[in-house]
Amino acid sequence: MVDLKRQYQKIKPQVDAALQEVIDSTMFIGGENVQKFSTELADYLGVKHVIPCANGTDALQIALMSLGLKEGDEVITTSYTFIATVEVIAFLKLKPVFVDVDADTFTMNVDSVAAAITPNTKAIVPVHLYGQSVDMEPLLAIADKHNIPVIEDNAQAIGGTYTFSDGKTVKTGGIGLIGCTSFFPSKNLGCYGDGGAIFTNDDEVAAKLRMIANHGQNKRYYHEIVGCNSRLDNMQAAVLRIKLPLLDEYCRARRDAADYYDNAFKDNPNIITPHRADYSYHVFHQYTLQLKNIDRDEVQKLLAERDVPSMIYYPVPCHKQNMLKEYNVADIDLPVTNMLQDCVISLPIHTELTQEELKYITSNFLEVIDQLSK
C-alpha cells in the first residue's frame, strides 16, 4: 500500500547526516530541529502557531482539552473516520454526536450539522478524509453563528487546500480555530516514528495548547493545570525538516497516481472513482473506490492472488465499534456511512508508484472486476 523504502533511498544522504548530527549532539528531546521545524511548518501552512506533539491522536486530545469542556458536552463529528478522531472524545468523557458523510466526497455532510447542534454542542471536528477538505465555508458559517469552535482533523490532508467562494485559498488545518495532524510514517508528511502537531492562529489558544502538551506548565515545575506529556523529538523533527520542502512534490506524485487510476477506471459501471470537489485540492492520502454490484470480499481475494494489495478503510464505522457501546449509537441513522462501509476499497497510493506498477494494478483490478461481474 505504501513504499517508504524507495522514498528514503532518494533522501538517504540528508536523512542519515541529519540523524547522525542529532545523535552526536545527544539533544534527543527538544533541540533546534523541533524549533526550526515548527517555524518552517507554520510558514508552509500559513498559520501563526505550530505546537509539535507526540502523535496525531494526542494532537486531537490536546486540542479538545484546551477548550475546557465538561463531562457530557457534545462534539459533532463523523463516524466514517479513523477511530482516533472519536476515541479522544470518548476518552475525555465527552459525547460524540455523529453526522453522516457525503457519498461522493466521503467527508462530513455539512447540511446535516445544523440539525445536530444543541445547547450542549461545544465543538465540531471535521475530518479531511483521504486527503480531501471538508466543505469548510458553510461549516464555519454554522459554527460561527452558534459560537462553536472548529477543530480540523487534518491527519490525512496535510498539503491540501480549501478554496473559499471569494477565491481565497487556505491550507487545510489552518481554517478552524485549531488544526491537528499526524506524522505517522505512512501519512503524506511522515516521520520515522511517531509525531504530530497542532496549529492555530489564536495566541491565547496556542499558549494553552503548549501548556497542556507540557505537563500543564509554563514555568518549569510550576504546574497550573492537568496536562500531559506529548513531544515531538529532535530526530523526528530532523527528518520532517528534510521532507517538508518535498511535501508539495509528494502530493503531486499522489495526485498523478490518482489521475492514472481515475482514467483507467472511468468507464467501468462497477466502479465509482473518488470525486474531487471544486473547493478542494485533494492530496490523496488514500485512493478509495466504491464497488457497485460486486462482491468486495471476492475482489480482495482475487487481488491478493495477483499480488495486488488492497485495504478497506474502514471496515467498521466508529459508531458501531464496541468501544462506544455505552453511548448507544450503533443503530443511529447514518445511511451513507453504513453504505460506504460495505462498498469501499482502497488501492496502493504513495509517492513512488511507477507507471509499470500502476499499469499492473489497474489491469489486474479491471480483470478481477470483469471476471466477477459476469
Ligand X SMILES: *Cc1c(COP(=O)(O)O)cnc(C)c1O
For binding to ligand X (CB under 6 A), which residues are involved? 55-57, 81-82, 84-85, 127, 153, 155-156, 182, 184, 194, 196
Take residue 218 and report the three cell numbers written for it. 509554563
Residue nearest to ligand X (CB): 56
**Cell 455505552 belongs to which residue?**
326
Q: Could you tell me the three cell numbers for 278?
A: 471544486
Q: Do residues 248 and 96 make contact, with C-beta atoms less than 8 angstroms apart?
A: no
| Pick 15 or 134: Cβ nearer ligand X | 134
Distance of closest approach, residue 206 Cβ to ligand X, in angstroms: 20
Kindly tell me which of 7 and 236 has the beta carbon lying closer to ligand X: 236
Q: How far is the CB of 180 from ligand X (least distance, A)?
A: 7
- Given the complex with ligand X, which of 244 and 264 has the nearer CB atom? 244
Nearer residue to ligand X within complex by CB, 239 or 302: 239
Pick the closest to residue 351 from 283, 282, 265 (CA basis).
283
The whole-angstrom separation of Cα 160 and Cα 170 is 9
Residue (of 110, 114, 142) closest to 126 by Cα position = 110
Nearest-angstrom CA–CA distance, 251 and 243: 12
Residue 144: CB atoms within 10 Å: 11
Nearer to ligand X among residue 260 and residue 313 (C-beta): 313
**Helix segments in the chain, DSSP class H:** 4-25, 32-45, 56-65, 84-91, 113-116, 136-146, 203-213, 234-243, 247-265, 296-305, 335-343, 355-373
Which residue's CB is nearer to ligand X, number 62 or number 271? Answer: 62
Tell me the β-bridge partners of 127. 153
Considering the complex, state which of residue 89 and residue 291 has its C-beta at the smaller distance from ligand X: 89
For residue 343, count CB atoms less than 10 angstroms from its CB and return exposed for 0-12, middle for 13-18, buried for 19 or more: middle
Rounded Cα distance, 363 and 367, in Å: 6
Question: Shortest Cβ distance from residue 37 to ligand X (Å)?
Answer: 16
Positive or negative CA dihedral for 269, 275, 278, 283? Answer: negative
Nearer to ligand X, 108 or 302 (CB): 108
Q: How far apart are CA 352 and CA 8, in angstroms?
A: 10
What span, in angstroms and rounded, lies between the C-alpha atoms of 241 and 113? Answer: 37
